[in-house]
Amino acid sequence: SQTSLCSVFQHTLFTAIQKHYSLEEWKTFAASHPECLEHVAASSGSGAADLEKLCSILEAIPLIQYICLDVANGYSEHFVEFVKRVRERFPKHTIMAGNVVTGEMVEELILSGADIIKVGIGPGSVCTTRIKTGVGYPQLSAVIECADSAHGLKGHIISDGGCSCPGDVAKAFGAGADFVMLGGMLAGHDQCAGELIEKDGKKFKLFYGMSSDTAMKKYVGGVAEYRASEGRTVQVPYKGDVENTIRDILGSLHVSGEFTHQQRKFSATLRSSPCVL
């Protein structure tokens, strides 16, 4: 929602706007919240209509300088070629592309024009890809491998999925991620879409993955015959204002940095101290 974007903007957090918003909705948002535009990315699929829509959005709102090419499976020649086309069309924009989980594909996408690679297949809290398809990769292992490949080409990665607490975010950064994408940890707040649900005296909000039945019925009219739903719809406990959660995450990262920095200093001191017999 627009209110949640304003909340994350205050902390210079970054948001990739989902690809189903229309050009008119983008224009309305840009007119209402121009201060947020430098911290958002316009998302796109990999079809011809997607590229046409992306071009329309970026031409209408030139302040947007980030593009997120968002597909569930980045392992296709079609997607690689699409990244090249977008780079040719927008030579000065920052392009994020994914998702993949192996170093070879990270390198392929960076060499094709992407700046930042989204890493993660199946780790999300409402993702069922691993259950439905048998395909997935442990997220921490994927981040370690993909960060090494990206940084060797002066690229970057986003760890997408798998975080359920601030400590997981810290581990993703520690493993080499340059950015960490959150979904479930930011669900259930006042700023999230949807009405409050009350059950047995407790409050909840709906949260669903973008490959779920709920999302596909809402945005594309249903699940295509050749596809299966790869996401769940769940009720998450109501958490109040997202500002409190953001402050908790950022504060935890700060303390994590202090712990690891002091540990490195202590280890260096031990290694450099003379041995006294």
Count of beta carbons in the 10 Å neighbourhood of residue 181: 23
Q: How many CA atoms lie within 13 A of 11 on its CB side?
A: 17
36 is catalytic: no
Contacts (Cβ under 8 Å, ≥6 apart) of 226: none
H and E: helices and strands count for the chain: 10, 10
> Residue 42 in contact with residue 20, Cβ under 8 Å?
no
From the candidates 12, 15, 28, 127, which is the catalytic residue?
127
Phi-psi category of residue 230: left, alpha or beta, with phi > 0 → left and psi -120 to 50 → alpha: alpha
From the candidates 36, 129, 146, 192, which is the catalytic residue?
129
68 is catalytic: no
Of 162, 182, 168, the C-alpha closest to 8 is 182
Q: How far apart are CA 257 and CA 169, in angstroms?
A: 12
- Which are the catalytic amino acids? 127, 129
